[in-house]
Amino acid sequence: MNEIVQGFIEAIELILSLDPDVIEITVRSLYVSLSATFFASLVALPLGAYIYFNEFRGKRAVINLLQTLYALPTVIVGLAVFLMLSRSGPFGFLGMLFTPQGMIVAQTILIIPLITGLTVSALSGIDREMRYTIISLGSSQLQSIITILREARFAILAAVLLGFGRAIAEVGTVMLIGGNIRGFTRVLTTAIALNTSMGNFSFSIALGIILLGVALVVNVVLNLVQER
């Protein structure tokens, strides 16, 4: 209880004092998770719209699979990517393990199914006639996708924000792939995990509050962008 109040106070202090360490990991968190959200959206939104637009055998199965991958534990993604990127793994030569780039890759993989699945379900509520109208206006496959994504932009933005939220809040992959190296790959969540394991609960909570603050800012900004 006390620690929560204490955490709020510390959070305010950290923000006001512009603690350079905290600023550094906050910026890194943002950089990594925004990048991952961007790349994942680039793949997931068109993919989701494609799945929505086209009737094909096994569509239902693909959707089920995507929804199953909602339950993909971050540690497992972290492990799999780790095994790929590790020195003895097939992509070891890239030297991406324990780098922010590696963390971006892992988070991107983590949230692609999420954003794709949510895109499909966001679009599922759209009238059949809307789809017909788009097609009959002579759209190409790509144009259809862009139009429908724009039409459902509120729900699509929600999907992207969820992806971002998941990325910036997750600790499993960034811990395994980034390694929580101070000054290099430490991000807010790994710092929170570290401080928790050290028993610095109020500091953890302070960092958590900062993380939520950052998410709120991203949220508001993206909402404003969406409304143009």
Partner 1 sequence: MIEAQNITKIYGEMEVLHGVDLSVGEGDIMGIIGPSGSGKSTFLRILDLIEPPDSGDLSLFDVNVVKERDRVVEVRRRMGMLFQKPIVFNTSVYENVALGLKYRHVGKNEIDRSVKELLEEVGLARYLHSNARNLSGGEQQRVSLARVLVTDPEILFLDEPTANLDPKSSKTIERLVTRMNRDRGMTVVMNTHDMLQGQRVAQRIGVMIGGDILQVGSPREIFYAPESTKIANFVGVDNIHDGKVLRREHQITAVEVAGTILYVGESPPEQSDRVKVIFRGEDVTLGIGKTAQTSARNILNGTIAEISDIAPFVHIKVDCGFPVSALVTVRSAEEMDLSEGKPAWVSIKASALHLIAESEESEG
Partner 2 sequence: TGTETPDGQAIPNETATETAAPPSGGAVLRIATTTSLYDTGLLDMIEDTYEAETGVDLLISSQGTGKAIELATRCDVDILLVHSPSQEQAFMDAGYGVNHRCIAYNFFQIVGPEADPAGIAGMDPVEGFRVLYEKGTAGEPGVLFVSRGDNSGTHSKEKTLWDMAGYDYETEVQGSGEWYIEAGKGMGETLVLASEKDAYTLTDEGTFLAFQTDLVLTPIIDQGDALLNRYSIIAVNPEQCPSVNIEEANNFIDWIISDEGKGLIGSFGVEDYGKALFTPLYPPECTASPFNCTCAESVSKA
Residues of this chain that bind partner 2 (CB under 8 A):
86-89, 92, 97-98, 175-176, 179-186, 190-191, 193-194, 196-201
CB of 119 to a second copy, least distance (A): 10
Q: Could you give the angle at the alpha carbon of 165 between the alpha carbons of 157 and 188, nearest 5°?
A: 145
Whole-number Å distance between alpha carbons of 111 and 103: 12
Whole-number Å distance between alpha carbons of 38 and 53: 22
Asked whether the beta carbons of 103 and 177 are under 8 A apart, the reply is: yes
Q: What residues from 158 to 217 belong to the interface with a second copy (CB under 8 A)?
A: 158-159, 161-162, 164-166, 168-172, 176, 188-189, 192-193, 196, 201, 204-205, 208, 211-212, 214-216
Tokens matching residue 176: 């395994």
Work out what residue 184 binds among partner 2, a second copy, partner 1, none; the CB cut-off runs from 5 to 8 Å by kind: partner 2
Residue number, 8 or 50, with CB nearest to a second copy = 8
Asked whether the beta carbons of 226 and 155 are under 8 A apart, the reply is: no
Residue number, 161 or 206, with CB nearest to partner 2 = 206
User: Which residue shows structure tokens 């600023």?
Assistant: 23
Among the listed residues 113, 51, 42, the one whose alpha carbon sits nearest the alpha carbon of residue 77: 113
Contact between 126 and a second copy per CB under 8 A:
yes
- The residues that touch partner 1, with contacts defined as CB under 8 A, are 127-130, 132-133, 135-140, 143, 147, 150-151, 153
